[in-house]
Chains A and B, each alone.
Chain A
């Protein structure tokens, strides 16, 4: 454990020595959205043919490999506001604690039956303290639902890597601070589609990877 902890410290310092780090940038070809671009950038989780994705489409690009766990689990938030999850798609590193604050003035009852994480927060009011939270310690896609508002969907992509980024609406991404080496760069597009490309990362270099 000590060794691991020490290793983790090293990894944690990596972003600081950014010059020695590799960077990947590129573009993910996102599915065509048949909706007009939304100025407010509000994303929803939609199901089409049993496939969950965001609407307008977004992708999560991450570097797959075996990386040490985060030394201190970070805490993130997915709020419920206006009867939606914000953000609707949240990639997190394994072991991340996610808080689900209720920003609506109604009850919500967040639960998930997903194999990656089963939990049920039950009904709670906006003033509920501490903010109901869950720690996600199994990689996979977790579908968030609200037992009261059946249309609410949220996606949590629990990844076994600290290197991930959500593309912009055009599919562009830039993922920096990566360790050099031979990896697989993956692009999660929807619940059924994850693209993969091998990358050879070199320190101080910016690799260009486009999907597909």
Chain B
């Protein structure tokens, strides 16, 4: 049995696995997509935020520069308008330039100290460029801000600028106290010719980017001609990062960009932007390095969240898949099982049925055939015996013998009739043609007959019958049942015994009880008395062919009723037959309720 069911279960299991796998794939895909997009979004967000921060800082820097440059331009305009400067430049008295400018630029050099809050115009140094763009050496460097020769070399321009130029120079390049200065070259126009006759180059300390909201880890510096000035980093780190930036700058046409770098093992986002676009001075870039730790932490957190959500989703998916699979699988499983089982069962049943029906056919045919084959000789025998009885030339003993034989043929005939009936029932050929049957009347008739029987012992009959109890049945078979029961009641009775017949309605049924005195049926036989050819062990002397109760019960059941032994003890045996009440009493018949 179990081996036949196995394929069905396996099928369901594989269906469940497939369903779960599909769900897993979906959840895994969703998770992967979620992680991918989350990562992209976070990195983009971080990049955008930092970019904005960088741009904001740059724009503030730019504002400061513009302010400074505007101030310087005004300064230089005024300066150029100063008769002494003009005189020095136009009257070929360059040696008098610095002394003349000293007074004019005094406020530039001795301006307010750089404050923490805002930009100042406090210059570190200034130099004039001659007509060829070379630096005019100051007679007294202390007045104009000392500058090393290497630094001074960086001020040289190929030609005098027409507009302001921003540049950056390194001071003390090889020392530990390396600094970068921002220089602004301002052209000086001759008030007489309108030509650029000189340029004033003013050096400032570059403004530090004042970062807000970018976190404490932000580092800013300046990249200049391949060298990175980023004081927050060690010299080797600066050099390494500087070459990295140089690579990025040479590979990119854009003047600003960003890329991720690794500093001290931690990822950081580096922004660079040219500080002096289209300047005559060498290109310089503002460098800002932002730690990505926050973003990384956020990413990490989000990864965990998405991972957790995915696990939950997966678990949910598992449960859901099991549930769905179960929901889907139950009918499928049932179908599979049913189909498997059905096939097997059907096959078995079919074969069994085939053989049974074959057997049945054979047996019923056999019974019928046998009954018919038996009836003819019995009829012949009876006719012969009756013929013999009709003669008057035999001795009295012979008549008695013949009479006994004739009785036996009657009995034999009864057995054959019963067998025929039973075989018809077994073959399913017997059907009740249900109609209202007056049970009371049948009982009365049979009780009348009972007294007329030749070998009837002397028994008393009690009856408690309502008149006209109608049941649904076929009269001849109902009659057979009643006959069988009454005959038994008489047959197994004792002398001076009692037969009590009662009948009453019980809801939709009519209950007929027939009890008789006499030896009771032992308990162990109770369940066998309805079997065919059963003989009561206690009444072997009683003439019985052992088919009556079996036939009666089968007929009662054909009537949709039943027959059972109610009790058999202490000189009282009682059977009870139930019949369905007739739906409708025949016209004119009085109904007793």
Contact = CB atoms under 8 A, between A and B. Distances in A.
Interface of A: 47, 49-50, 52, 111-115, 118, 143, 145-147, 150, 152
B93 A114 contact: yes
A71 B284 CA distance: 66
Contacts of A146: 83
A147 B82 CA distance: 7
B90 interface: yes
Contacts of A143: 87, 90-91
Contacts of B190: 50
Contact of B91 (A49, A115, A147): A115
A145 B93 contact: no
* Interface SS of A by simple majority: strand
Given A113-B93, A114-B91, A115-B93, A50 B83 contact: no
A50 B86 contact: no
Contacts of B191: 47, 150
Interface string B78-100: 00011110111011110010001
A143 B90 CA distance: 10
B88 A113 contact: yes
Given A50-B90, A145-B84, A150-B82, 5 more contacts: A47-B192, A50-B190, A115-B93, A146-B83, A150-B86
B244 interface: no
Nearest to B195: A50
A82 to B, nearest CB: 18
23 contacts: A47-B192, A50-B90, A50-B192, A50-B193, A50-B195, A111-B83, A111-B84, A111-B87, A113-B84, A113-B88, A114-B93, A115-B91, A115-B92, A115-B93, A143-B91, A145-B83, A145-B84, A145-B86, A147-B83, A150-B83, A150-B86, A150-B191, A152-B83
Given A150-B82, A150-B83, A150-B86, A113 B96 contact: yes
Nearest to B103: A147
Contacts of B92: 115
Nearest to B92: A115
A118 B92 CA distance: 11
Interface in B39-92: 81-84, 86-88, 90-92
A113 B91 contact: yes
B81 A49 contact: no
A145 B190 CA distance: 15
Contact of A112 (B81, B91, B195): B91
A105 B360 CA distance: 158
Contacts of A147: 82-84
Contacts of A145: 83-84, 86-87
A147 B100 CA distance: 11
Contacts of A115: 91-93
A55 to B, nearest CB: 13
Contacts of A47: 191-193
Nearest to A147: B83
A111 B93 CA distance: 12
Interface in B94-129: 96, 100
